[in-house]
Structure 1
């Protein structure tokens, strides 16, 4: 698998947003200024609240299929590899990690089986587009922490996606959850959201390496970053944190993140090179 130098684009874009000239210009500038090799088109379906069982992927809250296809094809003209990442938000503002139901079916209560049925249809719809457009990777979900204990259902989601998509499949767990997902064997690539405090990257990378090594799968951070705000380097995922604008703090965070991330990568490269027989 190619090293992923990626950037997320279009998160929470609604109907018509990808048709705007500004969208293409934004993507062009992203590719030019960041040196990215990959773009992750992240799509946000809706469900009304954490216990709603219908995942809504039609409507004004999402770009239409033809404009998504158009943007994927434009990304190709920029030399970008494409990763498609359809996920879901709760319209009441609850973070998707809290989508949850009883583990034992109870009459008159919402059920995991109904939610997964709707979620799988949503994923397979976009997996079909990913196959049509030959996207390099498909990410079947993001930060669905409470649902991750539902091992069999997630395996069925991934199997359903593989019925229509032949590329690499990943799942994006949340920070600190890399060693709690028990079905990593079902995906091709392991990914997570790397919102770790500055100064803690080395320890967290060591933990992640230990957790994923038994699976023998590639790993990457499908999300990582820090707002340009004073105090955010310690809690980079807290979008509501109040503080002064600080481009310098954001810069320090990224420098620390990329510097520490190189250490496990160097070990992987060394093991790979040492395993290659060299003809003399």
Structure 2
């Protein structure tokens, strides 16, 4: 999978005039896949249900952008998210009534399974970074069975890099999904070789895990802000206020050089192409987007003809 995520933060984002431009930009990197992230919300981490808000991509806009992506020759993964207000972490979701929460969750995820089936979406994630509930294996197997009743394509779950070993339902899915935000360096660096050395023990561990589970591993997310220190905390939007596009580019190159060609590795979907106009809280020069930066050139070199 040569992929890039185009997330949404508002119900009409995917109908934005920028949508076609963003999709063409993604395709021009050599990407063959794009991931979309419709998001439902809950007000508190202990709530027993989730719901749409004005920040949830409308079904119509999602259907239309899937169609546009397919027209451009891009395959699609839909990776629905559940979020909390502000900067609260979805990994902290721990509902008071787990049975009620999973009933609500099945309604949520089968809704997108139907949409994925209707639009010819090529891959679906059944969940993303829900570490507070991902240990409830029997409930997840029930969710997965329900999804398969609605959608016939390959399924994954996007586990955070420090969560994936605690997942016990990988064999019910088609791919192991990992959001690959491993810290690679104690100090900022622009040296791809140094970063590749840091990946080596992680790669060895993942290869063994893929073999033990008899499943390939997909990096459902990986990304780096273009800030000094991005390689020390890839999961952070605010490592520093100092632009460091060379560090971001080095991290892109090291990941691709380290994993491309490994038979057990199913590819990567980079986080993320861009914020929508006027919606980004992080200035573009500091954000995760590779667009217009040396990291985009790395993608073109690695993925181009």
The TM-score with structure 1 as length reference comes to 0.86
Q: Is the 8 A contact 1:170 1:189 kept in 2?
A: yes
Deviation at 1:243, TM superposition (A): 3.5
Q: Mark the runs of 5 or more structure 1 residues left unpaired by the alignment.
A: 102-109, 270-280
For residues 86 and 263 of structure 2, the distance between their equivalents in structure 1, rounded to whole angstroms, comes to: 43
Greater alpha carbon shift after TM alignment, 194-203 vs 231-240: 194-203
* Residue 50 (str. 1) matches residue 45 (str. 2): yes
* Residue aligned with 1:147, SS: coil
1:90 and 2:84 correspond? yes
Q: Is the 8 A contact 1:49 1:92 kept in 2?
A: no
Does residue 211 of structure 1 match 2:206? no
Q: 1:23 Cα shift?
A: 1.5
C-alpha displacement at 1:64, in angstroms?
1.1
Q: Does the 8 Å CA contact 1:194/1:221 hold for their aligned counterparts?
A: yes
Residues 1:153 and 2:139 aligned together: yes
Q: How many residues align?
A: 254
The CA deviation at 1:8 is 0.5
Aligned to 1:272: none
1:22 paired with 2:8, answer no
- SS of 1:171's equivalent in the other structure is strand
Query: After the TM superposition, which residues 58-207 of structure 1 pair with which residues of structure 2 at under 5 Å, given as runs?
Result: 59-101=53-95, 110-198=96-184, 199=195, 200-207=198-205
Tell me the C-alpha RMSD between the 2 structures.
1.7
Deviates more, 1:246-255 or 1:202-211: 202-211
Ranges in structure 2 where 5+ consecutive residues have no aligned partner: 185-194, 267-305
1:165-198 Cα shifts (integer Å, max 9, x gaps) = 1111110100132222111011011110111223
Is the CA contact (8 Å cut-off) linking 1:226 and 1:236 kept in structure 2? Answer: yes
Which of 30, 36, 56 lines up with 1:35 in the alignment?
A: 30
SS of equivalent to 1:148: coil
- Residue pair 1:43, 1:87 contacting (<8 A) in 2 also: yes
**CA displacement 1:58-94 (0-9 Å, x = unmatched):** x311121111111100001110011111111002531
Taking structure 2 as the reference length, the TM-score comes to 0.79
Match of 2:285 in 1: none
